[in-house]
Chain A
Amino acid sequence: MNPIHDDVRKTLDVLHELFTSATHDASAAMCRWTDGLISVTLDEVRRTPLEEVAQTLELGDELLTMVVLTLEGEVGGNLILVFDDVNGRQLAAKLLRQPIGSTPEWSPLEMSALTETGNILGCAYVNALTRLIGTELVPSAPYFIQDFGASVLQQAMMAQAVSTDELLLCRIGFHREDEELDWHVIFVPTPAMQEAMTRSLHAAP
Protein backbone atom coordinates (compact mmCIF):
# COMPACT_ATOMS: atom_id res chain seq x y z
CA MET A 1 0.00 0.00 0.00
CA ASN A 2 1.37 3.40 -0.90
CA PRO A 3 0.88 5.69 2.13
CA ILE A 4 0.89 8.83 -0.03
CA HIS A 5 -1.74 7.36 -2.32
CA ASP A 6 -3.84 6.39 0.74
CA ASP A 7 -3.60 9.95 2.07
CA VAL A 8 -4.77 11.41 -1.25
CA ARG A 9 -7.59 8.91 -1.41
CA LYS A 10 -8.72 9.75 2.15
CA THR A 11 -8.64 13.49 1.41
CA LEU A 12 -10.78 12.99 -1.69
CA ASP A 13 -13.24 10.87 0.29
CA VAL A 14 -13.50 13.58 2.95
CA LEU A 15 -14.06 16.31 0.38
CA HIS A 16 -16.57 14.16 -1.47
CA GLU A 17 -18.55 13.77 1.75
CA LEU A 18 -18.53 17.51 2.42
CA PHE A 19 -19.50 18.43 -1.14
CA THR A 20 -22.30 15.90 -1.21
CA SER A 21 -23.80 17.64 1.80
CA ALA A 22 -23.40 21.11 0.26
CA THR A 23 -24.80 19.88 -3.08
CA HIS A 24 -27.92 18.64 -1.33
CA ASP A 25 -28.63 22.21 -0.15
CA ALA A 26 -27.78 23.64 -3.58
CA SER A 27 -30.16 21.19 -5.24
CA ALA A 28 -33.00 22.31 -2.98
CA ALA A 29 -32.31 25.95 -3.91
CA MET A 30 -32.21 25.08 -7.63
CA CYS A 31 -35.48 23.19 -7.37
CA ARG A 32 -37.18 26.17 -5.76
CA TRP A 33 -35.76 28.57 -8.37
CA THR A 34 -36.96 26.44 -11.30
CA ASP A 35 -40.31 25.40 -9.81
CA GLY A 36 -39.09 21.85 -9.22
CA LEU A 37 -37.77 21.40 -12.76
CA ILE A 38 -34.01 21.14 -12.19
CA SER A 39 -31.93 19.41 -9.51
CA VAL A 40 -28.18 18.98 -9.05
CA THR A 41 -25.99 16.10 -7.91
CA LEU A 42 -22.29 15.74 -7.21
CA ASP A 43 -20.62 14.00 -10.16
CA GLU A 44 -17.08 13.72 -8.86
CA VAL A 45 -14.29 15.14 -6.75
CA ARG A 46 -10.95 14.43 -8.35
CA ARG A 47 -7.33 15.40 -8.75
CA THR A 48 -6.13 15.94 -12.30
CA PRO A 49 -2.72 16.85 -13.71
CA LEU A 50 -2.54 20.48 -14.81
CA GLU A 51 -2.12 19.70 -18.50
CA GLU A 52 -5.15 17.38 -18.60
CA VAL A 53 -7.71 19.54 -16.81
CA ALA A 54 -9.54 20.94 -19.85
CA GLN A 55 -9.85 17.51 -21.51
CA THR A 56 -10.88 15.84 -18.24
CA LEU A 57 -13.70 18.33 -17.82
CA GLU A 58 -14.58 17.98 -21.52
CA LEU A 59 -14.46 21.73 -22.02
CA GLY A 60 -13.01 21.35 -25.50
CA ASP A 61 -12.00 24.45 -27.43
CA GLU A 62 -15.47 25.69 -28.29
CA LEU A 63 -17.27 28.76 -26.99
CA LEU A 64 -19.45 28.17 -23.95
CA THR A 65 -21.91 30.23 -21.90
CA MET A 66 -20.82 30.53 -18.28
CA VAL A 67 -21.60 32.29 -15.02
CA VAL A 68 -18.63 32.68 -12.66
CA LEU A 69 -18.83 33.35 -8.95
CA THR A 70 -15.68 33.99 -6.93
CA LEU A 71 -15.46 33.19 -3.22
CA GLU A 72 -13.10 35.91 -2.16
CA GLY A 73 -10.28 35.62 0.34
CA GLU A 74 -7.67 33.01 1.00
CA VAL A 75 -10.31 30.45 2.03
CA GLY A 76 -12.19 30.69 -1.22
CA GLY A 77 -12.34 29.48 -4.78
CA ASN A 78 -14.24 29.84 -8.00
CA LEU A 79 -17.59 28.38 -9.02
CA ILE A 80 -18.14 28.14 -12.78
CA LEU A 81 -21.60 27.33 -14.07
CA VAL A 82 -21.26 26.01 -17.64
CA PHE A 83 -24.00 25.71 -20.27
CA ASP A 84 -24.07 25.06 -23.94
CA ASP A 85 -25.75 28.00 -25.63
CA VAL A 86 -28.99 26.24 -26.62
CA ASN A 87 -29.72 24.85 -23.16
CA GLY A 88 -28.75 28.09 -21.51
CA ARG A 89 -31.27 30.03 -23.58
CA GLN A 90 -33.93 27.40 -22.90
CA LEU A 91 -33.41 27.81 -19.16
CA ALA A 92 -33.55 31.60 -19.46
CA ALA A 93 -36.79 31.35 -21.47
CA LYS A 94 -38.33 29.07 -18.84
CA LEU A 95 -37.34 31.40 -15.99
CA LEU A 96 -38.61 34.48 -17.83
CA ARG A 97 -41.77 32.68 -18.94
CA GLN A 98 -41.28 33.80 -22.52
CA PRO A 99 -40.36 32.15 -25.85
CA ILE A 100 -36.72 31.29 -26.50
CA GLY A 101 -34.87 34.27 -27.96
CA SER A 102 -34.51 34.20 -31.73
CA THR A 103 -31.50 36.50 -32.15
CA PRO A 104 -27.96 35.07 -32.04
CA GLU A 105 -27.02 37.46 -29.23
CA TRP A 106 -28.37 37.04 -25.74
CA SER A 107 -30.68 39.82 -24.58
CA PRO A 108 -29.83 41.64 -21.31
CA LEU A 109 -32.87 39.96 -19.72
CA GLU A 110 -31.69 36.48 -20.74
CA MET A 111 -28.21 37.19 -19.38
CA SER A 112 -29.76 38.47 -16.19
CA ALA A 113 -31.84 35.29 -15.75
CA LEU A 114 -28.80 33.07 -16.14
CA THR A 115 -26.65 35.26 -13.93
CA GLU A 116 -29.27 35.10 -11.23
CA THR A 117 -29.30 31.30 -11.56
CA GLY A 118 -25.57 31.31 -10.92
CA ASN A 119 -26.09 33.64 -7.98
CA ILE A 120 -28.70 31.42 -6.37
CA LEU A 121 -26.69 28.25 -6.86
CA GLY A 122 -23.47 29.91 -5.76
CA CYS A 123 -25.00 31.39 -2.64
CA ALA A 124 -26.55 28.04 -1.72
CA TYR A 125 -23.07 26.51 -1.87
CA VAL A 126 -21.58 29.43 0.07
CA ASN A 127 -24.15 29.10 2.86
CA ALA A 128 -23.72 25.34 3.06
CA LEU A 129 -19.92 25.47 3.05
CA THR A 130 -19.92 28.30 5.62
CA ARG A 131 -22.06 26.14 7.91
CA LEU A 132 -20.04 22.98 7.31
CA ILE A 133 -16.53 24.41 7.68
CA GLY A 134 -17.32 27.15 10.21
CA THR A 135 -15.61 29.91 8.20
CA GLU A 136 -17.38 32.89 6.67
CA LEU A 137 -17.15 32.91 2.88
CA VAL A 138 -17.74 36.04 0.82
CA PRO A 139 -19.11 35.61 -2.70
CA SER A 140 -18.48 38.12 -5.47
CA ALA A 141 -21.19 39.38 -7.79
CA PRO A 142 -21.57 36.80 -10.56
CA TYR A 143 -20.08 37.37 -14.05
CA PHE A 144 -21.81 36.32 -17.25
CA ILE A 145 -19.20 35.19 -19.77
CA GLN A 146 -19.35 33.71 -23.26
CA ASP A 147 -15.89 32.49 -24.12
CA PHE A 148 -13.68 29.41 -24.37
CA GLY A 149 -14.30 27.27 -21.28
CA ALA A 150 -10.63 26.38 -20.91
CA SER A 151 -9.74 30.09 -20.89
CA VAL A 152 -12.04 30.84 -17.97
CA LEU A 153 -10.90 27.75 -16.10
CA GLN A 154 -7.25 28.87 -16.31
CA GLN A 155 -7.85 31.96 -14.22
CA ALA A 156 -10.06 30.03 -11.79
CA MET A 157 -7.31 27.54 -11.02
CA MET A 158 -4.41 29.95 -10.46
CA ALA A 159 -4.45 29.80 -6.65
CA GLN A 160 -3.99 26.04 -6.78
CA ALA A 161 -1.53 26.10 -9.70
CA VAL A 162 0.91 28.22 -7.64
CA SER A 163 1.57 25.34 -5.24
CA THR A 164 0.72 22.14 -7.08
CA ASP A 165 0.82 20.47 -10.51
CA GLU A 166 -2.29 18.44 -9.79
CA LEU A 167 -5.53 20.31 -9.35
CA LEU A 168 -8.48 19.44 -7.17
CA LEU A 169 -11.80 19.92 -8.92
CA CYS A 170 -15.40 19.19 -8.07
CA ARG A 171 -17.92 18.69 -10.82
CA ILE A 172 -21.66 18.94 -10.26
CA GLY A 173 -24.26 17.77 -12.77
CA PHE A 174 -27.79 18.92 -13.53
CA HIS A 175 -30.90 16.85 -14.03
CA ARG A 176 -34.37 17.55 -15.37
CA GLU A 177 -36.59 14.73 -14.07
CA ASP A 178 -34.67 11.65 -15.23
CA GLU A 179 -32.75 13.44 -17.97
CA GLU A 180 -29.10 14.37 -17.46
CA LEU A 181 -28.44 17.86 -18.83
CA ASP A 182 -25.27 19.04 -20.50
CA TRP A 183 -24.72 21.68 -17.84
CA HIS A 184 -22.12 21.58 -15.11
CA VAL A 185 -20.82 23.46 -12.16
CA ILE A 186 -17.09 23.26 -11.65
CA PHE A 187 -15.83 24.26 -8.23
CA VAL A 188 -12.13 25.05 -7.91
CA PRO A 189 -11.25 25.59 -4.23
CA THR A 190 -8.09 27.39 -3.11
CA PRO A 191 -5.55 25.33 -1.12
CA ALA A 192 -6.64 27.14 2.07
CA MET A 193 -10.26 26.18 1.36
CA GLN A 194 -9.24 22.54 0.90
CA GLU A 195 -7.46 22.57 4.26
CA ALA A 196 -10.43 24.22 5.97
CA MET A 197 -12.78 21.59 4.54
CA THR A 198 -10.54 18.71 5.58
CA ARG A 199 -10.12 20.15 9.11
CA SER A 200 -13.86 20.61 9.52
CA LEU A 201 -14.62 16.96 8.86
CA HIS A 202 -11.79 15.73 11.06
CA ALA A 203 -13.08 17.97 13.86
CA ALA A 204 -16.69 16.80 13.51
CA PRO A 205 -17.93 14.64 16.42
Chain B
Amino acid sequence: MTSPTIHAPVETLVGLGQIAAGQAPKRMKAVLGSCIGLALYHPRLKTGALAHIVLPDSAGRTGPPGKFADTAVGHMIEMLRQLDTPVHGLTARLTGGANMFGGNGPIRIGEENIKAVTQSLRRASIRVVGQDVGGNCGRRIVFDCSSGQITVEKAGQPSRSL
Protein backbone atom coordinates (compact mmCIF):
# COMPACT_ATOMS: atom_id res chain seq x y z
CA MET B 1 0.00 0.00 0.00
CA THR B 2 1.52 3.34 -1.02
CA SER B 3 1.48 6.37 1.21
CA PRO B 4 -0.63 9.27 0.01
CA THR B 5 1.31 12.14 -1.49
CA ILE B 6 1.00 15.27 0.59
CA HIS B 7 1.22 18.44 -1.40
CA ALA B 8 2.10 21.71 0.28
CA PRO B 9 -0.47 24.39 -0.56
CA VAL B 10 0.54 26.48 -3.55
CA GLU B 11 1.33 30.07 -2.61
CA THR B 12 -0.57 32.75 -4.50
CA LEU B 13 1.66 35.65 -5.54
CA VAL B 14 0.02 38.99 -4.78
CA GLY B 15 1.43 41.56 -7.20
CA LEU B 16 1.48 45.33 -6.87
CA GLY B 17 -1.99 46.73 -6.34
CA GLN B 18 -3.59 43.29 -6.02
CA ILE B 19 -5.63 41.63 -3.28
CA ALA B 20 -6.04 37.90 -2.73
CA ALA B 21 -8.55 36.33 -0.34
CA GLY B 22 -9.21 32.77 0.75
CA GLN B 23 -9.57 30.18 3.46
CA ALA B 24 -7.21 27.77 5.21
CA PRO B 25 -4.95 26.18 3.99
CA LYS B 26 -4.45 28.94 1.39
CA ARG B 27 -1.09 30.78 1.51
CA MET B 28 -0.32 34.09 -0.17
CA LYS B 29 3.03 35.73 -0.79
CA ALA B 30 4.48 39.09 -1.79
CA VAL B 31 7.80 40.92 -2.08
CA LEU B 32 7.72 44.38 -0.53
CA GLY B 33 9.84 47.51 -0.65
CA SER B 34 8.04 50.78 0.02
CA CYS B 35 4.70 49.01 -0.50
CA ILE B 36 2.65 47.66 2.40
CA GLY B 37 1.56 44.04 2.72
CA LEU B 38 -1.67 44.21 4.73
CA ALA B 39 -3.21 40.96 5.95
CA LEU B 40 -6.73 40.83 7.41
CA TYR B 41 -7.64 37.60 9.19
CA HIS B 42 -10.59 36.08 11.03
CA PRO B 43 -9.09 33.64 13.57
CA ARG B 44 -12.30 31.64 14.16
CA LEU B 45 -13.33 31.27 10.51
CA LYS B 46 -9.73 30.99 9.27
CA THR B 47 -10.35 33.25 6.30
CA GLY B 48 -8.03 36.03 5.26
CA ALA B 49 -7.00 38.53 2.62
CA LEU B 50 -3.63 39.99 1.65
CA ALA B 51 -3.32 43.34 -0.13
CA HIS B 52 -0.18 44.71 -1.79
CA ILE B 53 -0.70 48.45 -1.26
CA VAL B 54 1.37 50.82 -3.38
CA LEU B 55 0.33 54.38 -2.53
CA PRO B 56 -1.29 56.16 0.43
CA ASP B 57 -4.08 58.14 -1.18
CA SER B 58 -6.25 57.53 -4.23
CA ALA B 59 -7.37 61.20 -4.36
CA GLY B 60 -10.54 59.91 -5.96
CA ARG B 61 -8.73 57.95 -8.68
CA THR B 62 -9.64 54.40 -9.60
CA GLY B 63 -7.12 51.64 -10.05
CA PRO B 64 -6.38 48.02 -9.13
CA PRO B 65 -8.27 47.15 -5.91
CA GLY B 66 -5.23 47.05 -3.59
CA LYS B 67 -3.30 50.00 -5.02
CA PHE B 68 -4.34 52.73 -2.55
CA ALA B 69 -4.39 52.55 1.25
CA ASP B 70 -7.65 54.54 1.53
CA THR B 71 -9.61 52.15 -0.72
CA ALA B 72 -7.85 48.80 -0.28
CA VAL B 73 -9.28 48.08 3.17
CA GLY B 74 -12.84 48.54 1.88
CA HIS B 75 -12.16 46.17 -1.01
CA MET B 76 -10.65 43.59 1.34
CA ILE B 77 -13.68 43.74 3.65
CA GLU B 78 -15.97 43.21 0.67
CA MET B 79 -13.95 40.24 -0.62
CA LEU B 80 -14.06 38.67 2.86
CA ARG B 81 -17.80 39.33 3.08
CA GLN B 82 -18.19 37.24 -0.06
CA LEU B 83 -16.50 34.45 1.91
CA ASP B 84 -19.15 34.92 4.66
CA THR B 85 -16.62 36.66 6.89
CA PRO B 86 -17.87 39.65 8.88
CA VAL B 87 -15.77 42.70 9.75
CA HIS B 88 -16.31 42.07 13.45
CA GLY B 89 -13.53 39.82 14.65
CA LEU B 90 -11.03 40.71 11.91
CA THR B 91 -7.41 41.32 12.90
CA ALA B 92 -4.69 43.10 10.88
CA ARG B 93 -0.99 42.57 10.36
CA LEU B 94 1.18 45.09 8.48
CA THR B 95 4.55 44.64 6.78
CA GLY B 96 6.69 46.73 4.44
CA GLY B 97 6.87 50.51 4.08
CA ALA B 98 10.68 50.56 3.75
CA ASN B 99 12.83 53.29 2.29
CA MET B 100 15.11 51.31 -0.01
CA PHE B 101 17.47 54.03 -1.23
CA GLY B 102 17.94 57.78 -1.22
CA GLY B 103 15.57 59.15 1.32
CA ASN B 104 16.57 62.73 1.81
CA GLY B 105 13.75 64.01 -0.37
CA PRO B 106 10.52 65.58 0.83
CA ILE B 107 8.40 62.49 0.35
CA ARG B 108 9.24 59.16 1.95
CA ILE B 109 6.61 56.99 0.40
CA GLY B 110 7.14 54.03 2.72
CA GLU B 111 6.37 56.13 5.80
CA GLU B 112 3.35 57.71 4.14
CA ASN B 113 2.03 54.26 3.26
CA ILE B 114 2.39 53.07 6.87
CA LYS B 115 0.49 56.10 8.20
CA ALA B 116 -2.27 55.82 5.61
CA VAL B 117 -2.86 52.09 6.15
CA THR B 118 -2.94 52.57 9.93
CA GLN B 119 -5.53 55.34 9.55
CA SER B 120 -7.69 53.22 7.23
CA LEU B 121 -7.67 50.37 9.74
CA ARG B 122 -8.60 52.73 12.57
CA ARG B 123 -11.56 54.04 10.54
CA ALA B 124 -12.71 50.46 9.93
CA SER B 125 -12.22 49.61 13.64
CA ILE B 126 -9.89 46.71 12.81
CA ARG B 127 -7.29 45.91 15.46
CA VAL B 128 -3.60 45.68 14.49
CA VAL B 129 -2.10 42.61 16.17
CA GLY B 130 1.34 42.63 14.58
CA GLN B 131 3.60 44.70 12.36
CA ASP B 132 7.08 44.74 10.83
CA VAL B 133 7.40 48.03 9.00
CA GLY B 134 9.87 50.74 8.01
CA GLY B 135 13.63 50.41 7.85
CA ASN B 136 15.77 50.16 4.70
CA CYS B 137 15.34 46.51 3.72
CA GLY B 138 13.06 44.67 1.36
CA ARG B 139 10.79 41.96 2.73
CA ARG B 140 9.59 38.65 1.33
CA ILE B 141 6.40 37.61 3.12
CA VAL B 142 4.09 34.60 3.24
CA PHE B 143 0.62 34.89 4.80
CA ASP B 144 -0.84 31.59 6.00
CA CYS B 145 -4.63 31.36 6.31
CA SER B 146 -4.31 28.29 8.53
CA SER B 147 -2.73 30.32 11.34
CA GLY B 148 -3.16 33.95 10.33
CA GLN B 149 0.57 34.47 10.70
CA ILE B 150 2.86 36.31 8.31
CA THR B 151 6.41 35.01 7.94
CA VAL B 152 8.77 37.88 7.12
CA GLU B 153 12.18 37.37 5.54
CA LYS B 154 14.77 40.11 5.19
CA ALA B 155 18.21 39.91 3.58
CA GLY B 156 20.84 38.73 6.02
CA GLN B 157 18.41 38.27 8.92
CA PRO B 158 16.58 35.25 10.36
CA SER B 159 12.92 35.11 9.39
CA ARG B 160 10.31 36.10 11.94
CA SER B 161 6.58 35.50 12.30
CA LEU B 162 3.92 38.05 13.13
Chain A interface residues (CB < 8 Å from chain B): 50-55, 61, 63, 68, 70, 140, 143, 145-148, 150-155, 158, 161-162, 165
Contact = CB atoms under 8 A, between A and B. Distances in A.
B34 A165 contact: no
Given A155-B34, A155-B109, 17 more contacts: A50-B17, A51-B64, A54-B15, A54-B31, A55-B15, A70-B102, A145-B101, A147-B137, A147-B138, A150-B33, A151-B100, A155-B101, A155-B110, A158-B109, A161-B54, A165-B17, A165-B67
Interface residues of B, number: 29
A52 B138 CA distance: 18
Interface centre among A55, A63, A145, A148 (most CB of B within 10 A): A148
A147 B101 CA distance: 11
B151 interface: no
Interface in B11-51: 15-18, 29, 31-35
Given A154-B33, A155-B101, A158-B109, A148 B18 contact: no
Interface of B: 15-18, 29, 31-35, 52, 54-55, 63-64, 67, 98-102, 109-110, 137-140, 155-156
Q: Rank and list the top 7 A-B pairs by shortest CB-CB distance, nearest first.
A: A151-B138, A51-B15, A151-B33, A154-B33, A148-B138, A150-B31, A147-B138
Contact of A153 (B18, B29, B33, B98): B33
Overall SS of chain B's interface:
loop
Contact of B98 (A52, A55, A151): A151
A61 B31 contact: yes
B140 A61 contact: yes
Contacts of A63: 155
25 contacts: A50-B15, A50-B16, A50-B17, A51-B15, A53-B16, A61-B140, A63-B155, A140-B102, A143-B102, A145-B101, A146-B156, A148-B31, A148-B33, A150-B138, A151-B32, A151-B100, A151-B139, A152-B33, A152-B138, A154-B33, A155-B100, A155-B102, A155-B109, A161-B16, A165-B63
